[in-house]
């Protein structure tokens, strides 16, 4: 009951954020975005036809009425049909969302898990060559552009100039074997790029926890290292770790895969949204932007509840 009250209160305080994100995005992407009138008209259109199309698209309405209409669409989750293909927006997202998720989840999970393991190893051997080696590699990882990693991995793994093991581009999820062959190279690239930043962040968090008094005390009482790391250190580091992981989810879902999707020709949400911006497909844009904002508010809520779960001292107020 207390938790439910908390959730409702938190959702209400998320409203200003929702309004801000939708307002700025609406202004930029829809109000100042590309004008579709003349693409939808035939040659030599009369003034009436132009007016009719503009009316259909809602261009003749004042700014705030259009924004209010958008908010109404957001609440009812009815965004209409895509201007470009005529497909219902919900159908379009329903089709592309699973592809993006299937593409990005393995890399995201592995990138964080491996980073935590490396960070623990580096922190355990703090100051020794193992630590310096791991941290050296993470600086190198941080310094290589994602774009270069994608192209290099593609040359090395999927072209005839390299090992030629995987398909160069495209997407196919019909069988698990197909899925694996298409997802491997994007996943390796994502893991490679995220490892550098993640390892550094997690190591800093872990080292800070290691220097606390309670860890020294536990060590003095002879707690074995494995137990010390799991129970006294890792568990106490969960709050910054959870924050980082959960807050990167909304961005990973929407735009994290944009570069991979456009480079590998994978029809996911990132690609669809990018195309919608460049062609001015407003219904799609409105849906994606609104969804991102909602995901952010949800992420805040979920982190707060998880804080409570990992640390009983946190109270939900």
Which helix (H) or strand (E) segment holds residue 170: the answer is none
Q: Please state, in angstroms and rounded to a whole number, the distance separating the CA atoms of residues 307 and 247.
A: 13
Residue 15 as a binder of another protein (CB under 8 A): the answer is no
Shortest distance in whole angstroms from residue 283 CB to another protein: 15
Residue 133 as a binder of another protein (CB under 8 A): the answer is no
Residue 139 as a binder of another protein (CB under 8 A): the answer is yes
Shortest distance in whole angstroms from residue 255 CB to another protein: 4
Shortest distance in whole angstroms from residue 172 CB to another protein: 21
Residue 158 as a binder of another protein (CB under 8 A): the answer is no
Q: Which of 71, 152, 157, 298 binds another protein (CB under 8 A)?
A: 152
Give the nearer residue to another protein in terms of CB position, either 45 or 155. Answer: 155
Three state DSSP letters for the chain: CHHHHHHHHHHHHCHHHHHHHHHHHHHHHHHCCCCCHHHHCCCCCCHHHHHHHHHHHCCCCCHHHHHHHHHHHHHHCCCCECCCCCCEHHHHHHHHHHHHHHHHHHHHHHHHHHHHHHHHHHHHCCCCHHHHHHHHHHHHHHHCCHHHHHHHHHHHHHCCCCCCCCCCCCCCCCCHHHHHHHHHHHHHHHHHHHHHHHHHHHHHHHHHHHCCHHHHHHHHCCCCHHHHHHHHHHHHHHHHHHHHHHHHHHHHHHHHCHHHHHHHCCCCHHHHHHHHHHHCCHHHHHHHHHHHHHHHHHHHHHHHHHHHHHCCCCCCC
Give the nearer residue to another protein in terms of CB position, either 3 or 164. Answer: 164
Shortest distance in whole angstroms from residue 160 CB to another protein: 9
Q: Which of 41, 239, 258, 314 binds another protein (CB under 8 A)?
A: 258
Q: Which of 156, 207, 246, 298 binds another protein (CB under 8 A)?
A: 207
Residues between 21 and 40 with contacts to another protein, criterion CB under 8 A = 21, 24-25, 27-29, 32-34
Q: Please state, in angstroms and rounded to a whole number, the distance separating the CA atoms of residues 152 and 149.
A: 5
Total of residues contacting another protein (CB under 8 A): 47
Residues between 272 and 291 with contacts to another protein, criterion CB under 8 A = 273-274, 277-278, 280, 288-289
Q: Please state, in angstroms and rounded to a whole number, the distance separating the CA atoms of residues 230 and 235.
A: 6
Site track 164-203 with another protein (rule: CB under 8 A), x = hit: ----------------------------------------
Question: Of the ranges 91-99, 174-182, 234-242, 247-255, which one interacts with another protein (CB under 8 A)?
Answer: 247-255
Residue 255 as a binder of another protein (CB under 8 A): the answer is yes
Binding residues for another protein, per CB under 8 A? 16-17, 20-21, 24-25, 27-29, 32-34, 139-140, 142-148, 151-152, 155, 159, 161, 204, 207-208, 211, 250-251, 254-255, 258-259, 262, 273-274, 277-278, 280, 288-289, 292-293, 296
């Amino acid at each position: 009951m207390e938790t439910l009250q908390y959730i409702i209160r938190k959702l209400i305080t998320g409203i200003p954020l929702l309004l801000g994100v939708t307002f700025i995005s609406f202004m930029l992407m829809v109000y100042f975005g590309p004008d579709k009138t003349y693409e939808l008209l035939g040659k030599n259109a009369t003034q009436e036809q132009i007016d009719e199309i503009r009316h259909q698209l809602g261009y003749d309405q004042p700014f705030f009425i259009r924004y209010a209409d958008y908010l109404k669409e957001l609440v009812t989750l009815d965004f209409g049909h895509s201007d470009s293909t005529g497909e219902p927006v919900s159908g379009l997202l329903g089709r592309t969302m699973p592809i993006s998720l299937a593409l990005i989840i393995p890399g995201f999970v592995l990138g964080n898990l491996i980073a935590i393991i490396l960070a623990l190893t580096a922190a355990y051997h703090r100051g020794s060559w193992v630590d310096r080696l791991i941290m050296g590699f993470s600086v190198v990882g941080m310094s290589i552009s994602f774009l270069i990693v994608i192209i290099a991995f593609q040359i090395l793994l999927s072209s005839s100039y390299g090992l030629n093991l995987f398909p160069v581009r495209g997407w196919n999820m019909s069988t698990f074997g197909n899925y694996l062959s298409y997802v491997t190279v994007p996943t390796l690239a994502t893991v490679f790029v995220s490892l550098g930043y993640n390892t550094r962040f997690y190591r800093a968090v872990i080292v800070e926890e290691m220097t606390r008094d309670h860890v020294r005390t536990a060590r003095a009482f002879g707690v074995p290292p494995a137990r010390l790391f799991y129970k006294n250190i890792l568990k106490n580091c969960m709050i910054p770790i959870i924050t980082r992981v959960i807050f990167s989810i909304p961005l990973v879902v929407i735009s994290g895969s944009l570069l991979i999707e456009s480079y590998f020709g994978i029809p996911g949400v990132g690609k669809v949204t990018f195309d919608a911006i460049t062609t001015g497909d407003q219904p799609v844009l409105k849906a994606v932007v609104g969804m991102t904002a909602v995901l952010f508010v949800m992420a805040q809520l979920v982190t707060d509840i998880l804080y409570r779960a990992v640390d009983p001292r946190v109270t939900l107020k």
